[in-house]
Structure 1
Amino acid sequence: MTQHDERDRTDAALVTLDMDRSDPGYRAWLKEAVRKVQADANRSADTHLLRFPLPEPWGIDLYLKDESTHPTGSLKHRLARSLFLYGLCNGWIRPGRPVIEASSGSTAVSEAYFAKLIGVPFIAVMPRTTSLEKCRLIEFHGGQCHFVDDSRTLYEESARLAARTGGHYMDQFTYAERATDWRGNNNIAESMYQQLKLERYPEPAWIVATAGTGGTSATIARYVHYMQYDTRICVPDPENSCFFDGWTRQDPLASADCGSRIEGIGRPRMEPSFIPGVIDRMMKVPDAASVAAVRALERAIGRKAGGSTGTGLWSALMIIAEMVAEGRTGSVVTLLCDPGDRYLDKYYSDDWLTGQGIDIDPYTRTLDHFLANGVWPG
């Protein structure tokens, strides 16, 4: 095909889209689709802010924002809702055409839910190692799972599928930070501060937010700056992810050779939605520490959570250890990202840990020692 032919085909496609947008049937479908997505938010209660028990003499409160109570069971429900509204209002999501997403699981579960809600097909492009429970949930909500063997090919395969099917590649890793209204509108940051209003430390010293797309950390940090709070933002990063290296070296081209074992967070490249300039601190967290932390969480509050919650909890407790050592009081908030029943065959399976060569015992002893004595082992 010549360059001239390609330009003619593009022009023809744009004319078709213009005709579609002026069609009364499309406008009626669009209004109804937007109404359905907004109605989902309107009938959903806010998520809880749970307390993690710490010794009273420390004068420090630790909270977990429990995003597992969303209709699709994870933090990604907020993101998926925002992405669908963004795509619909931009005219990118069309009746009868599939929505396609590159996802390691939870975003795909939530997007499958919203696709079903507005009546369009959904295809999740995901690593073959994604947990079976997440695959089951995607299919439960009417989505299809399209697997790749190399997680670094997710983006290209998603774009290829969108071009082949005439669908829309949602591209959460590009649009997550701009689809959400970071100034407020009941975003996750505004919700946190509203729920902390009657606590003894209503303005947290730190908010700890892990990063997959980077959209959540960007939203929280921007809101903190916009509202002129003194809260600092820490982003923990798991093994096999490049965010920490890219942030510390100020290298937008940083990359990792393989995918993260902590589903939902960590990336092999610096994603467009990851905004380094809004973050105050990053930590590199071993995968064994993440798993030890989610198991400690279950012992403390009786709740199982996914590995990304453990990554954030480990970092939050390290920050609290610093506060205790320095005699500082205050509050720290992190996220309970999704429920642990999605990972019974992974983070709660000793056989899986053995197969991955992960030994959580040293990290479990560290947590037990700190919570009992207030001192983080050196």
Structure 2
Amino acid sequence: MSTAQQPHTPHRAGADGAPRTAVHAPTPTVDVDRTDPDYRSWLKEAVRKVQADANRTADTHLLRFPLPEEWGIDLYLKDESTHPTGSLKHRLARSLFLYGLCNGWIRPGKPVIEASSGSTAVSEAYFASLIGVPFIAVMPATTSREKTRLIEFHGGTCHLVQDPRTVYEVSARLAAESGGHYMDQFTYAERATDWRGNNNIAESIYEQLRLERYPEPAWIVATAGTGGTSATIARYVHYMQYDTRICVPDPENSCFFDGWLTGDATAHCTTPSRIEGVGRPRMEPSFVPGAIDRMMKVPDAASMAAVRALEAAIGRKAGGSTGTGLWSALRIVGEMHAAGRTGSVVTLLCDPGDRYLDKYYSDDWLAAQGLDITPYARTLDTFLSAGVWPD
């Protein structure tokens, strides 16, 4: 089997229980009297506004990816691009704001600062504007221009850094200097979301599958940036005692796969991920390796081929992280079909492709990055037409 067609995909290999660096909650500040009626009134109104956003936002759609009926396998994409801020990170930002408000960390007039590769910052800028506090996004200088435009559209400020590995320390420094709150999505994503239910993404998936022919999916495929989404889905599956398995695909230039495979909580990667929103240089505190069943290492060119196959199949452009997940989901479908198994598979449509027209949909950008999608596109064409994943 060629390298182009065989990303390494062993099943869970004992990363459970790996030690993690202790992360402490922000030290409470004394610039606000939390018994003051004006502060309590502001807090109640801020929480109401954030909760109202969830109440008036319809659930996202579950789209079907066309596969031959006779295969007996259904593939779905949970379309998170329809949130008000256009991505999966809208759920996370809402949870993080509620968590920070209820902990007393977000205060009137003080900025919220976040380390982000883009989409989380767009959503957090929206919620900061909603409750009337300033917002600063600390991001790699390579972040797509469309994402920085959206952050600024929602009233946020972009602080770009040349070395993506410095986003954490720069964010913490800006928070200390301004008296604001460093949201720290990479630490708090997995604990800010109620994984037992409360209309989280996992509960929504199962409710939307209730009338389908395979209502309990064989696999849910979720890429990892913070790791919060995969942790939420996996915990919900275990809590509800489902037999669904969780697969987390990892792009090139990310350490999650190696850290999960070896159980090394100190695994790291010095080259930044080309797939915005997923893949990290360090094992993030919100990535919970013991909760998931499988990981795949997915070449970036395969992710690019997959988003173009998605557009051909359903007429929708999506971001690169969607391609990473879709490539892995289709490989799992291929394994199920080869083994004569039936069932359903779910993956995520994380954000729209119009944010990346100058990157993932640009042949010039692909060439500049040295990415040849041809063998991966051929693999997908062969599989979708003949039902065989090429050796």
- TM-score tier, shorter chain, comes to over 0.9
State the alpha-carbon separation in 1 of the partners of residues 249 and 164 from structure 2.
21
Question: 2:140 corresponds to which residue?
Answer: 127
Question: 1:7 corresponds to which residue?
Answer: none
TM-score, reference length from structure 2: 0.93
State the alpha-carbon separation in 1 of the partners of residues 82 and 70 from structure 2.
31
Deviating above 2 A after TM superposition, structure 1's stretches of 4 or more consecutive aligned residues are: 13-17
Question: 1:246 corresponds to which residue?
Answer: 259
State the alpha-carbon separation in 2 of the partners of residues 171 and 51 from structure 1.
34
State the alpha-carbon separation in 1 of the partners of residues 346 and 59 from structure 2.
16
After superposition, where does 1:162-241 map in structure 2 within 5 Å? 162-241=175-254
Residue 14 of structure 1: how far off its partner (Å): 5.7
State the alpha-carbon separation in 1 of the partners of residues 94 and 33 from structure 2.
24
After superposition, where does 1:251-266 map in structure 2 within 5 Å? 251-266=264-279
Question: 2:103 corresponds to which residue?
Answer: 90
Question: Per the alignment, do residues 275 and 23 of structure 1 end up closer, same or farther by CA in structure 2, a change over 3 Å counting?
Answer: same
Counterpart AA for 2:53: D
Question: 1:161 corresponds to which residue?
Answer: 174
State the alpha-carbon separation in 1 of the partners of residues 73 and 86 from structure 2.
29
Residue 346 of structure 1: how far off its partner (Å): 0.3
Counterpart AA for 2:358: D
Residue 288 of structure 1: how far off its partner (Å): 0.1
Question: 1:3 corresponds to which residue?
Answer: none
Quick one: percent identity of the two aligned structures? 85
- Selected match of 1:298 from 302, 305, 311: 311
CA deviations 1:98-147 (Å, max 9, x no partner) are 00000000000000000000000000000000000000000000000000
Greater shift after overlay, 20-29 or 294-303?
20-29
State the alpha-carbon separation in 2 of the partners of residues 214 and 370 from structure 1.
30
After superposition, where does 1:266-345 map in structure 2 within 5 Å? 266-345=279-358
State the alpha-carbon separation in 1 of the partners of residues 271 and 341 from structure 2.
39
Report which structure shows greater RCO (CA 8 Å, sep ≥6). Answer: 2
Mapped contact 1:237–1:284 kept (Cα < 8 A): yes
State the alpha-carbon separation in 1 of the partners of residues 221 and 68 from structure 2.
20
State the alpha-carbon separation in 2 of the partners of residues 207 and 376 from structure 1.
20
Higher helix share: 1
State the alpha-carbon separation in 1 of the partners of residues 37 and 161 from structure 2.
39
Question: 1:20 corresponds to which residue?
Answer: 33
Question: 1:5 corresponds to which residue?
Answer: none
Question: Per the alignment, do residues 129 and 224 of structure 1 end up closer, same or farther by CA in structure 2, a change over 3 Å counting?
Answer: same
CA deviations 1:150-202 (Å, max 9, x no partner) are 00000000000000000000000000000000000000000000000000000
State the alpha-carbon separation in 1 of the partners of residues 199 and 284 from structure 2.
25
Question: 1:10 corresponds to which residue?
Answer: none
Question: 1:9 corresponds to which residue?
Answer: none
Unaligned runs of 5+ in 1: 1-12
State the alpha-carbon separation in 1 of the partners of residues 345 and 277 from structure 2.
22
State the alpha-carbon separation in 2 of the partners of residues 129 and 293 from structure 1.
22
Counterpart AA for 1:113: Y
Residue 57 of structure 1: how far off its partner (Å): 1.1
The 3-state SS of whatever aligns with 2:137 is strand
Q: How many residues align?
A: 365
Counterpart AA for 1:328: R
- Selected match of 2:372 from 355, 359, 366: 359
Question: 2:50 corresponds to which residue?
Answer: 37
TM-score, reference length from structure 1: 0.96
1:146 corresponds to 2:159: yes
Residue 16 of structure 1: how far off its partner (Å): 2.6
The 3-state SS of whatever aligns with 2:383 is helix
The 3-state SS of whatever aligns with 2:270 is coil
1:99 corresponds to 2:112: yes
The 3-state SS of whatever aligns with 1:21 is coil
